[in-house]
Amino acid sequence: MSKEEIKNVTRAELAEAVYHEVGLSLNESSKLLDQVLEEISKALEKGDAVKLSSFGSFAVRSKKMRMGRNPKTGEDVPISPRRILSFHPSHILKQQVDGKK
């Protein structure tokens, strides 16, 4: 798939899909989507894992301080400790993406 063929799905498009599938008003669908995303964000901020059956798991990991290298100068540079977000898709999602439903 070339870069021209890749399409980004927006929050508005997701809300519209909920509107068509669930039957809520478009405004209610948008609020529902916002609330779900807010709850996921809050859980991740606290460091909790979020597991969505048949979709995947989000988790926050802590990375320790380490030394890196500036590619331009070759100079050693400390990389500060930080938290990163990781996503692991479920086997079902992997199969769907691969077209093997």
What's the domain count of the chain?
Answer: 2
Question: By the 8 A CB rule, do 93 and 54 touch?
Answer: yes
Q: Is the pLDDT of residue 63 over 90?
A: yes
> Is the domain of 1 the same as that of 35?
yes
Note whether 8 and 19 are same-domain residues. Answer: yes
Same domain, 93 and 60: yes
Check whether residue 83 and residue 97 sit in a common domain: yes
Burial-class residue 4 by CB neighbours within 10 Å (0-12, 13-18, 19+): exposed
Is the pLDDT at 1 greater than 60, yes or no? no
pLDDT digit string, tens, across residues 30-61: 999 999 999 999 999 999 999 999 999 999 99
- 56 shares its domain with 36: no
User: What distances in angstroms separate CA 94 from CA 32, 50, 54, 69, 91, one per listed residue?
Assistant: 26, 18, 10, 35, 5
The domain of 36 spans 1-45
The model's pTM: 0.77
